[in-house]
Amino acid sequence: MFCINNQNTNPYFNLASEEYLLKNYEEDVFMLWRNEPSIIIGKHQNALAEINIEYVKENHIKVVRRITGGGAVFHDLGNLNFTFISNSPNSKPVMNFKKYTQPIVDVLVNLGVDARFEGRNDIVIDGKKISGNAECVYKNRFLHHGTILYSAHLPNLSSALKVDPVKFQDKAVKSTCSRVANVSEYLKKTIDIIQFRDLIFTHISQMYPESKIYEFKPEDITYITNLQNSKYETWEWNFGNSPEYNFRKIVKTSGGFVEFDLMVEKGIITSVKIFGDFFSSDEISEIESALKGLPHEYSDVKQKLKEYEIERYFNRASLDEVLEGIF
């Protein structure tokens, strides 16, 4: 395993580095990194629906789309982010959030903090979320990453993110800050985020005795920078063109929220976009393509979707839950 203590705080570079390591290396990887103020949105999300655009512009907050599913998160230098990349012995890797969050939980417990994995993809302390996690699959390789709220500026988090009304109705009517917390609030002994980072780095290195400390080489940086410039800094990747919707519905499935945006002409589905904070092992564009050209009719759509293993596109969701969003 390569252990990388990435000192770069540019979110465009750091998200590009994850994709580079996932797709161009064969070794397992563990990486720690931090971002300057930024909003990192899930692969399937509508960026404009997730952010407070006025606040983002006024405060020069970068908005970057990642290659994993899940919801939008706010990063600043009080957040510590971690990435695991590993090879899977299976041809179709299975998501396993608990496996990759457990080392982080262990470090927190060793510091005297009652942390635990809870729900779909969170680490919590005293019922409050301190870490959200996301995953994706590329061929036989698996990427898991998470963010740890250590000493983040929580009012900025609340102001920068816009809560979707459907989610807002589903959860207690409280501000975002009331549901999240910083790790530093629960420590018996004060340590700064750099010391905390070093504790995690040491713990992971000891877990994998064969691991090697790795620093990006000039050729790595060149490739990552090119990917940063051609993809992660572009409007096309981070925002894209907003389609015109004639039919829009948001549903809560067992695997997260899913938004279906359809253009229907003369009863035929001509355009499909699917957003949400769900996770997927296979490309959601395959479902979007499958729906195009079908009559917007329940039996036809259901018959078509039966050809697909729905849980690989909408993790933990059922066919009936997906159909509820299309009609």
165 has pLDDT over 60: no
- Residues 220-231: what's their mean pLDDT? 98
Q: What pLDDT is attached to residue 95?
A: 75
Q: At what angle do helices 298-305 and 319-326 cross, to 10 degrees?
A: 140
176 has pLDDT over 50: no
- Residues 13-18: what's their mean pLDDT? 98
Q: What pLDDT is attached to residue 32?
A: 98
Superfamily of domain 2-238: Bira Bifunctional Protein; Domain 2 (3.30.930.10)
Please report which residue ranges of 247-297 form alpha helices under DSSP H. Answer: 285-291
For residue 322, the surrounding DSSP H or E stretch is helix 319-326
Residue environment code for 146-169, b if the CB has 16+ CB neighbours within 10 A, otherwise e: bbbbbbbbbebbbbbbbbbeeeee
- Please say whether the beta carbons of 97 and 117 come within 8 A: yes
Q: What pLDDT is attached to residue 263?
A: 87
Closest CA to 121 of 42, 49, 47, 186: 42
Class of the CATH domain delimited by 247-326: alpha beta
pLDDT band for 265, please (50, 70, 90 cuts). confident
- Please say whether the beta carbons of 298 and 327 come within 8 A: yes
243 has pLDDT over 50: no
Average pLDDT of the residues of the chain: 89
310 has pLDDT over 90: yes
Asked which of 62-71, 209-218, 264-273, 290-299 is least confident by mean pLDDT, the reply is: 264-273
Domain boundaries, the chain: 2-238, 247-326
- Residues 296-313: what's their mean pLDDT? 93
Q: What pLDDT is attached to residue 76?
A: 97
Looking at the chain, the whole-number percentage of residues with pLDDT higher than 90 is: 71
Please report which residue ranges of 174-253 form alpha helices under DSSP H. Answer: 193-207, 218-227, 235-238
pLDDT band for 173, please (50, 70, 90 cuts). very low
Q: What pLDDT is attached to residue 245?
A: 42
Asked which of 82-96, 141-155, 161-175, 220-234 is least confident by mean pLDDT, the reply is: 161-175
125 has pLDDT over 90: yes
218 has pLDDT over 70: yes
166 has pLDDT over 60: no
Compute the distance between CA of residue 17 and CA of residue 312 in angstroms, rounded to an integer: 25
pLDDT band for 240, please (50, 70, 90 cuts). low
The reported pTM is 0.77
- Residues 294-319: what's their mean pLDDT? 94
